[in-house]
Structures are given as C-alpha cells and as structure tokens.
Structure 1
Amino acid sequence: MDEAIRMHRRVFCLVAVMWAPGVMAATEPLEKLVETDLLTVPVLTMFVLLLIVFGWGLHRIRLERRRAAQSMSALTESERRFRTLFEHTPEISVQGYDRNRRVIFWNRFSEKLYGYSTQEAIGSRLEDLIIPDCMRAGVIEGVDKWVNFGEGIPAGELTLRRQDGAPVHVFSSHVMLHGRDGEPEMYCIDIDLSARKAAEDQLRKLSLAVEQSPESIVITDLWGSIEYVNRAFELTTGYRADEVIGQNPRVLNSGKTSPDVYKGFWATLMRGESWRGEFINRRKDGSEFVELAVVAPVRGKDGTVTHFLGIKQDVTEQKRAAAEINRLAYYDGLTGLPNRALLMDRLGLVLAVSRRQPRQDALILFNIDRFQTLNDARGHAMGDLLLQALGRRLSGLLREGDTLARIAGADFAILLQALDIHREDASRRALSVAEKLHAALREPFDLGSETAVITASLGITTCPDDADDTPLEILRRADTALHRAKDAGGNQTAFFETAMGDVARQRFRIERELRRGIPAGELRLFLQSQVDERESIKSAEVLVRWAHPERGLVPPGVFVPVAEQSDLICELGVWVLENACRLMAEHGSAGRELRLSVNISPRHFRLPDFVPWVCELLSIHGVDPSCLTLEVTEGLMIEDIDGVVAKMQALTAFGIRLSVDDFGTGYSSLAYLKRLPLHELKIDRSFVQDAPENSDDAALVETILAVAHSLHLQVVAEGVETVRQAAFLNARGSMIHQGYLYGRPQAASEWIPLWLKQFDQVLP
C-alpha cells in the first residue's frame, strides 16, 4: 500500500514537471516532498495542478518576453534598413521633419541637392532652409494643417531654394508617420527635376525657334511626305499647315527649276549628305518666288536616316536687290548701257581669250563734240534725252558680242571683238565701223519737241598690243587717239600710233615722279634779275627747277606743262611761294628790300582760299606785301571776270602788287585792263626779240607801252638778249628789262650774293 502510494506520488510529480516547466528547478525538493507523508493523494493532486498553472503562466511570460525581444530586434533592423535605404538613395532627396518643422532626417542626396550638410540641416526649420520667401507662409500653414488636422499636402512640382540662393526644381511628395513616442513625423521625398526642366526649356526654346524662325522649316518622311511645317512656311507659301501635311513638297513646284537641280538634290540626299541650292517655286496664289534651301537627312540613335529636314529662305527680294546692285555697279543709270567697270571686265576677258587663240579686237572711244554747249543752251534734260537716244541708235549697229558702253558724260566706248587675226585687217574693219558711226550720228535725233544733229570725235586702238597688254593700257591708248581727234577740230577719227603712246607715257612718268619729288625736297628755287635802264637790279623773277635724282636738273618746260594739266600745279605754286617768302624774310632785314615776282597759275588762283592763304603766308614770315608781285596770265580773265576782279582787289588792298604776264599773246582787252587793279604789264619775249627789225612787232611794243602809260602801269620787257633790243626799248621809255643780256636764271644761293654786293655798293 505504501509502495503504491509512493509510485502514485512520483507519477504526479513527473506530470507536474512535464506540464509546469517553470518548476523544473524544484524537482529535487519536490521529490523529497513526495517522500514525506504530508502529501496525501488529493493534496498532491491539487499541488500538482497549482504547479502546472504556475509553470504555464511563467512559460507564457518568458515566451512573450522572447517575442517582444524578437519584435524589438526586427523593428530596430527595419529602422536601420529604412535609414540605410533612404540615406543612400541616389537622385532622391529624403528629409524628415517633426511637428515643429525641424529637420530630423537629411539624406546624402539632400546635401547635394540643397547644399546644406547634414550637420547644418539637423535641427533647422524647413522654412529657414529650402523654402523661398514667397512660399514660406503657405508652407507653414500647410504643414500645420497636416499635422494638426490630417489635411494632406498634395504632391506636385515646386521651385525650392539652394543654400546659395539658386532655384531648385523638384517633384515633392509627403508622407506622415509616427515616431516611437507617437509624435507625428513628416517625410518629404523630392525628385530633382533640374535636368528635365533644362531639357524642357531647351526643347521649348528649340520649338519656339523653329516655330518663330523667319526661314521656312519643313520635315518630311523618307518618302517625301510632309510631316511638319512652321509658321514661316505658311506665310511664305500661302498654304496652311493642314493643307500640306501628308503632301509632297512638289506641290510648290513652278516647273521653272531645272531638272538637273532635282537630280543633284536627290543624289546628294541618297548619299546621306546635306544639299544646298535654289528652287524656283510657286505660292498658293500662283506668284513665283526663289528659295535658298538647305536639306539634310535626320538620323536616329542607330545612325539610320529617319526624316529629311529642309530649311528654306525666300531670297526673291535679295535676288532682285542683287540684280539691281549689279545693274548699278555695271550699267549706266541714264542710258542702261554697260558702264566703265563692265567695259574693263570685258576687256579683261578679251585679253584672256586672245592669249589662247590668235585674234585682234578693237576699242573705239568717242565723245560728242560740243555737248556742253547743247547742255547749256537747251538744258540738262534735253542732254539726257540725247544721250539715251544715242545709246538706242548705236546699239542697233553692233554685232552680237560687241559692247557699247557709256564711260562718263558724253564719252562712249565700243568694244569690237574678234575682228580678224591680223592687225591691219582688224584696223580696216574698225575704221569701217567708225564710218558707220559718223553716218549714224549725222541723222537728226528726235528729242520730242526738238531735234538735234551732232558730230563726234573717235579714237581707235587695236588689242592686244603685246603679251603684257592690260585693260587700262588699252583704254589709255584709245583715249590718247580720241584727244588727237578732238585736237584736230572734232568730227574726226584717229588711230593710236606708237609715237602718241610714247608721249603719253612720258607725261605720265613725269607726273608720277614729280608727285613724289615735291614732298621729297627735289625742287630748287632759281632767280632771274630784273634791271632798270642803268642795269641796276631792282627785283627778280622766281623760277623753279627740278633736281631729279637720276636725270639731273630738269628745266621747267618739261615738267610745268604736265603739272598744269593736273592738280600738281597748285602744289608746285604753294612750294614756290612759301620758299620765296622765306627768302624775302631772310634777306629783307637791315633796310634791304628783296622784291620778287612769282607766277601764279589760273588753277591755283581760282582756289577759294587763295587770297587768305597768301595774306596769312606773308604775315607769318613778316614780309612786306609790297615786295611781292604776283604774275597772272591773260587766260585767267576769260572766266568769271567778276570773281577775278574781287580777288585782285583783296590782294592789292593787302599791299600785294599784281602783274599780267605775256601781255598781248592771249585775251587782251582794254575793257578788262580798266577793271583790274594792276601795277605792271610784262611784254612777251616774242615781241621783244624781233622788235628792232620787224615793224609789226615794233608797233605792238609801242602800243603796249602807250596802253601802260595811259593806265599808269609799270612795264617789264622779257627776253632781252641783245644790246640792240635793250637800246630799242630804252629809246621808247623807262621800263624794267629781264633776259639773258643781264643774266641767266641762277640758283637762289648764287643770285643772293650778287644782289647783296650791288645793294651794299649803293648804300651811302
């Protein structure tokens, strides 16, 4: 019985231990307790049940703790993963804010996007970091409503602010979470849109540029169907976009573009290259226009051609303007004939052809005789009508390929091409054309209310003259021949001859070298004495010589006539007068009065500032104006006698003396002599030399002396070379003599000592 009870107890203990894991540590004490007699079966059963309940409760507690520990570990790991994920998320900014809008989380891309480091951002307020001033109030209000009332903040595009103040374009979305403490936390997820915005801006600019481009832009597929046209296309062609989309650009074809252009166009595009050229197209209203087009293949990413892009510019007006510019540059505005520039171009072409194949051409220059008289008598409008009628008439006389050009004024030129291979035969044919021209000009010209009959002078030269011939040389030869024809009295034809060319070349060389020599200091001042009847030097005439570095001393008869035909005569006159004033100023002191006479050319005298310039020159050098005599020729009085008289009066009022040089050889008139404020007449040497033997010359000299005496003018006789001539003059009155009998012209440095010696001898 006892043994059975003991076994029973142990079984309950084992059951208790199995159902109450929490009492496993008390197994040994429990066994001891079982061994005692205190536990009866009921008590033991109750005790075991209690142990089971207690152990199970303890097991549940441990189990809950284990689960809580595992849950906490998982949460911690989740948070770590969350932070790691958003900390290193590329191209996405993640920021966390507490309910007071202070930063609690700031990932690395936020640092890059907004410029604030994590240390700078944590603890700072949202509105103080990235919110522009204009958005601040709205952001604060929106966040507060979300935190306090659960009103969500809509996602969308925003323009926020970097640390440096630069704008940042982002797409922003927001998430509300609760922290461990249950407090709300807001997380902002911002995606950087700067690159997209830049691309969109670029695309928008490109789209605006294409749409607003002044050039027409057309995009077609590979089969030529139009897929896009811009506004300029519509304005240029008159077609709306919806009218041409799907159409082929040949809808604009006028039929006037050469088929070769289209052939080259497609051949170029099929090679994958860009084509540039012009199309003559037709607008919707039927009007034609010219387009300068650039068409290029458009390639995809794989390099294959997907479309064709055409950029076209309406150049109709430019073409018209270019044609007008060409007309103005190469055609005469009055007659419509080629001008000098085009003539020179064609002369150049003629020479180029003649170098490849032997042939002779000819150039005819002609000038309407006395055209200025017709202009003055009937007016410039009538002169213009004549020039136009002349152009029309002569154009009908020429062969195809010949050129009729208006050079200037009443000067015309005719270029006759390929007359013959021999110069003599070409000259005869050119002369035949010249005779036709004279005959054509003899026919009256109908000028509306009037008619006109004219003649012309013609100069002819053949070309090429040699292998080095030039257009300018050809024109120069023809011009030389023309002047010869005019010198012969007009209504003449003259051929260029070699001797004529030699003279012209000589004159050209002299002018060119003199133009260089004057500023180079190559001129020399010479003086020739003017004496009274006792052969005492009273004054001197100023002459000029040219000390050429290669040809030595050049006499004035060689270079002065050349200077007279150009502006060089004025430059020459300035040099002579300035040096004469220096000489007078240098030797006119100490009671000595150096009196000099200086020749003035009509061209120099007519300059508007001549009088004030001479007066200022004398004042600058401190020269007594009465010591200077200006010699002018009678030719000065032919034109504008009133203006000449006014200038002479101004000069004499200043104290300058005036003399008429070579009196009796030009336009001698007592009428103008009475008006001119003269002091002196100079008898030309041609009268003086033969006066002792020739009664006619003697009578002329006596007449001149009588005129001078009646007008109270001093007389200077030039060219006195013999004693007999001097005696003849002295027998007829008191006058000044000048000539080789009293001395040849001398360099100023040689003449001055002779004058000083005589001057010192007569001093008291």
Structure 2
Amino acid sequence: MADESSEQREKELLTSVETMANIGSFWYGPASGDLYWSPQLREIHGVAEDEPITYEQAMAFHLPEYRENIEHLVEQSFQNHHSWSAESCLKDRSGRIHWVAITGITRTLKNGDMALFGAIQDITVKKYRLQQLQEQANTLRSTLDNLLDAVITIDNNGIIINFSAPAERMFGYSAAEVKGKNVSVLMPEPYAREHDRYISAYQKTGRARIIGIGREVQAKRKTGEVFPIDLAVTEVTHSGETQYVGVIRDITEQKENARKLEYLANFDEQTGLPNRHRFLDLVEKRIESHLPIAVAAVNIDYFNRVNTIHGHEEGDRVIQLIAQRMRKTIGDSGWIARDLGDRFWVGVMQNSTETSLAIIDELHSVLREPFKTAFQTHYLTASVGVSLSGGDENASGLLSQADTATSNARHSGRDKVAVYRAEISNSVVTDAKTEVALRAALGKGQFECWLQSKVDTNGVVRGAEALMRWRNEAGEIIPPDQFIPIAERFKLIIPMAKELLSQVAFVVRQLSDKGLNDRIAVNVSPIEFLQNDYVETIQKIFAEQDAPLNQLTIEITENLLLADPEIVEQTMSRLAELGVVFSIDDFGTGYSNFMRIQQLPIGELKIDREFVQLAEVNDKHMGLLLAMLNMTKSLSVSSVAEGVETETQVKLLKENGADLLQGFYFARPVHFKDWLSERLA
C-alpha cells in the first residue's frame, strides 16, 4: 500500500509539473506500435484521455511544412540512438495553432525492443512574444534606417555595437566595417585621441559635456573628410551593461547656408563690397575706438538712364566698374560699401580732416572719367555728401548727416561734394521742433496703436503687428519715420512705448476674453529693451489690463543681440519664462551671429520686405529668400514674411513654407479699435 501511495504521489507530482510548464511527455515503440501520451500532451493536442492515438495520427497534427522534418528526426533517432530537438507548429483538434518545442531520445527496453521517449512543450505564448519583439525591432530598425539622423550605439569601452543605415550613408562605412571597432575611427584628432580618456573620466566622475544634450563637434568620414555634426548622447543600460546611444546630424549644409546667409546679409553680392549694414558696424567700431572718420555718401547722378537706355545687365557691369575704381582710389585709406541701386558709402580713416576731404575730392574726380564696358562708354558724375566725426554722433547719425549733405549737393546742381554743416542744416531745426512737439504730446493720447494683420498661408488671421501712429493736435497723422528716430535719439521712445503697450494689453485682453489666441507683436527699441526695469514695466502694464503675457510677441532687431549680450540674454530669458515670444525683425538686414540666435529663446524670424519684393523679379534675391526660409526650418523657428503685396508673392511664399504673411495684399494698418471690431465680429 505504501508503494502504491508513493507511486500515486509521484504520478500526481509529474502531472502537476507538466501542467504548470505546459509540457507533455510521450513514448513510442515501433515494434509494438504502442504510443503513449501524457494527459498534458493530450490537452495540448485537444485529444480526450480515453481516445487511442496512433503514430500516424500523432504526425498528422503537425503542419505539412514541419511534419517531414519531425518524421526524419524520429527515423534518425532509431538509427543512430542520438537525442534530438526541434520546433514545430501543429493544429489541435479544434483548429487552434500551437507552437511546440520537441525533444526525443531512444532507449532499449528490457525485451530488447527500441522505444522513443520525449517531451513536447507548448511555446505558443513565448513564440508570439518573440514575434512581437522581432516586429518591434524591425519597426525600430526601419524607423532608424529612414531617419536623416544617424544612430550609433557603443559599449562602455567605446566599441561600436550598432550602426544605423543613415550612419552608413553619413560616414561611408558599412555596419560590418565598423562594428567591433572603437568609435574613435569616426573622429578626427584631437577628439579621437581624447575619446577613451573622456569615457573613462565620465564613468569615474559622472560629469559629462555631451551626455543628454546636443553639441556641435567634428566627425570624420571614411574618405578622411572632416565635417561638422550635432551630437546628442544618451546613457542606457542593456542586460546590465552600460551603453551609449549617439544621435548624429550632419550640419554641413546648415553651416554652409548660415555662412552664405551671413555673407549675403553683410556684403553686396554683385560687387563683393560690404553693404550698408556692415558699413554701419565698421563705422560704429571706429567711433567707439575714439578714432576720427569721414563718411561720404556717393550717389551716381542719373544712373537710371544707363539701365533705361542700355538695360540692367549693362547697368550691372557699370556698377562693378564703379566699385573697382572706388576701391582702387581709396585703397588702404578706408572702406567702400554698396547700398541699394546707385548709392555707395565711403569711410575715410585719416587723422587730418583736410587729408580725408582731399581723398574724397580725388574720388569725386575719378568718377568723372569714362567707364568702358565691352559694349559702351559711359560718362557719369556723382553727388557726394560728407559728414565728419567729432561730436556725439553715432554711426547712424553720421550716415544721416552724409545723406543730408548729399541732398544739398544734388539740389545745388549735382556733380558736387557737400560737407554737412550742423548750423545750417534744415533738418536740425526740424528735429528740434519735432522733439518739442513729442514732449508736449506725452500723456495726451496722441500716440495711437494701429494693427496690421498677420495671416497664415490660407489667409486666416493669426495675429497682428502693433504700429505706433502719432496724431498731433491738428489731427494730422505723422509718419513713423518722421518722429521715431528723433524719439529714440532723445529717449522719448520709452514713455511713448508705454502708452502703446497699454493699448496692446487692452487688445490682448479683448482677444483672450473671446477665446482667441492671436499673438500681438510689438517692435521694441534697443533703448527701451535695455532699461533695468523693462521686464517689470511689461508685467505691470499687462497686469493692469488683466491681459495674458503669453499672447505677446516682442520684435527686436538683429543688432540688439550684440548691444549688451548679458543684459539682453537675461531680459529675454525672464520674459520667455512668462510666455513672451521673441521675433527677430527685418531678419537678414543686420549683423547677427547664427549660433547666438540658436542660444537665445527666439521663436520667430521676420523676413524684411525688401527680400520678399525683390525675390519676385530677381533670381539672386529669390535664392536669398529661399535660404532664409530654409534657415528658419533649420533653427526650428517660425517665419513671418512682411511686405507681401502681390498674389505672385503669396504663391511663392506659400510654396516655399513661410508660416505667416503680412502686407498690403491682406490688410493695411488700422486703428486698434477698428481692427478689434472686425476681428471680434
């Protein structure tokens, strides 16, 4: 009885183990034809306990594409007495599919007959899980292979483990060529030499310069070519081992575009001379160094006749000859710059005023000499206006004075050199009167907020730009260019801007109350922006109107970014935390550093109207416009094209990915009350 009880317990234990592991056992004696299946094996096949099963019936459960292999393994097992294992796929009595793992071994029975003993485990769940993991891995691999960015995985010794298809295309190596090699093979010196030391130091200290962040570094292709990349590295743990996953973007094209755009933003493509904005910067640096300079504005008299009579191509050839002659004449004595059309700027760097004026007189004389192209000889003259440093003028002031002097030369009959004299300048008197009137207008509601809509490429209004208009006591609207420069010069722009901002806050509150999230943009003067209490001023004005700051956009110029970098960055960061978006106004006309733009919380670049309008008629300007739009995408910021006036411009900007459009084609500026009435209707 004890033996029977022990045997029963062993049988129950075996059955329990088989059930838990989903394993069934069997034996088969070919001599007698006997086939035994355990209860769990019958469960797997969907066969009743009392149903007899033959070897042929057992084989029939396996799908045809697996059956032949199983039968072959059984046959071989009886011949060579080796154990074997295999995977198979079978269909049970109810038609359900099971994946199974089979093991078998032959033994000689006491009566001398051979028998096959084995086990079959149902691995369906495991198989499906593996298939899902494989599908996920394939999907991930396909995704990585179709990314523009390369993905490379290394172990904690710097050995390459994985190398995506984009990495193959980027570096020129196949995955097989680099797997198992140190990642330094992809680096130029000194990065390659320092890499192992860097990894070791990171593992010891946990301090890293690139873990978790993006960083610009140099990489090396199979050809030996060194190129710039943006690298972001993530530390991961896989099977208990530390690995590093690097996401790499080739920024060669982006850097080249930035270089070209920076060049085009500061130099005249036709002549290779600095443009007005670059010239301003050079003059400003000279003034800041307390060194004398004479600035001359050179207007070629009646140059439009060359274009009208001989065509613009001939006009371009003459402009190039003028630039060459001016450069040769001035030499190392100063700088030459090209403005729009037939205007040039000259900066003469001499300690003596007499010497500077003598050089400018010589330049004026040589411009009278004939200009010969392959097609025509042209006789030209120039009207030249000169301003001299020495007072409190800044670069803009000197250029403005030279402009005034040029006007005097032209009004005096052209082909003359006129020197700016402050005491006889009508503009000085006009500016003084304007200053007095501006001071008197403060606090009287004469500075009005007008709004010009910004629309998306479908023509839907998404916001507006706030523009200041001055309605004087006589009810006349004074154009901004007649009072804004004077207001900035005398710092009256600060209280005037507060009046404008209060009206903007009112508009934002009205929009917000109606559930509209339109953004209202405000131009900010550097004088205003650099005030110590600028952030607090904005907060106070918006709080008084209970208006949300996250619907305010502040438009700043590129040159402001260079004014006082530390203050500018602090102010921008504080306002960005409050939800304010920053836009670079007249993008492409200043002298900005593109890495600087990437470092600051800038969400929008506003393309100057000149680029928009000239792109329609000039292939070179078209290329510049497209480069700017591509740059906004590279910087991951929005683009606003201003000065849109024709359907052709709208189509061009829409086709090339501009985000927002602004200009007379859609709407002219109107008083904010009129704008609100239409917007909230």
Bigger relative contact order, structure 1 or 2 (CA pairs below 8 A, ≥6 apart): 2
Q: TM above 0.5, one fold? A: no
TM-score category, normalised to shorter length: 0.3 to 0.5
Q: Who wins on radius of gyration, i.e. which is larger?
A: 1
